[in-house]
Amino acid sequence: MLTLIQFRAKTFQPEMAEARLESLSQEQLQSLIDDYVREEALYREAIALGLDANDYIIKRRMIQKIDFITQGFADVTVQISDDDLNTYYDTNRDRYREQAFITFTHVFFSTERRTAAEAKALAEEKLAMLQSDAAPFSDAPKHGERFPYGVNYVERTRDHVKSHFGGDMASALFSLDPADGVWRGPFLSSYGTHLVMVINRKDARYPPLDEVRDRVEADLNSERKKAQSEKVIKAIVDTYKIEVDLRDGDGKDVAGLGQSN
């Protein structure tokens, strides 16, 4: 029954299973016994009927059980120190790099039915009005023309902005210092001209380990468990003599790879 408890808990830790068994009430214990008896009876009946022979599904299930056991072993044996975390973080810093982002709104004038010069003139005229009226961020949708994408861009990355406005305009926007209430432009995209108000911008950064410690520890723990599990499986595989037989029904080696290791 300890095995049953461990599989239900999805961890191969006998001590934990024993503690769990001892903590069960009489009703819970009887329920566990009934489940165990049912599973064992059905299992033995299936074996008696030869249902396990040449059945790939059962074969895969048995392999999964071994995988489960090796993972449980890894859960117990993997230990991570602060030095381990520091080394892992230093080696994989790019994985935790926070991208630069920007928050802005814009007023748009299309060049689809007018020249770039005409669109720029309209934008400059609108810029003077927006500045004179001290138009806030929230007023942007009331001005200009409909842009193919959005009006307000909140904490968007450079790649996202670039995909909507083009590389030149994205670079120009990310070079601006935030200034709530200040309209700037015109800026040129492949769609037309834009007036923008940038209210927030953060440069790309590598957060200190303390800020991402849980993520780093989880990633390192996962990698080490996988490596430990693969090590155990390799040790199991190495105990067997491997013979590769790729002969067809006439005994001909169809791939030329038949060999023994």
Contact assessment for residue 198 and residue 178, using Cβ atoms and an 8 Å cutoff: yes
pLDDT of residue 49: 77
Contact assessment for residue 127 and residue 141, using Cβ atoms and an 8 Å cutoff: no
- Residue among 174, 147, 148 nearest 162 (CA): 174
Calpha distance 186→173 (Å, rounded): 11
Band (261; pLDDT cuts 50, 70, 90):
very low
pLDDT of residue 70: 74
Q: Is the pLDDT reported for residue 14 higher than 60?
A: yes
Calpha distance 198→209 (Å, rounded): 30
Calpha distance 154→198 (Å, rounded): 10
**Tally of helices (H runs) and strands (E runs) in the chain:** 9, 6
Contact assessment for residue 218 and residue 102, using Cβ atoms and an 8 Å cutoff: no
Instruction: Determine phi and psi for 98, rounding to 5 degrees.
Output: -95, 125
Answer left, alpha or beta for residue 157, where phi above 0 means left and psi between -120 and 50 means alpha: beta
Instruction: Determine phi and psi for 89, rounding to 5 degrees.
Output: -65, -45
Count of positions (residues) in the chain: 261
Contact assessment for residue 153 and residue 107, using Cβ atoms and an 8 Å cutoff: no
Q: What is the pLDDT of residues 63-78, one digit of tens each?
A: 777 777 777 666 666 7
Q: What is the pLDDT of residues 28-77, one digit of tens each?
A: 878 877 777 777 787 788 788 787 777 778 778 777 777 777 776 666 66
Complete DSSP assignment for 61-75: HHHHHHHHHHHHHHH
Q: What angle do CA 125, 129, 133 make, to 5 degrees?
A: 175
Q: Is the pLDDT reported for residue 4 higher than 90?
A: no
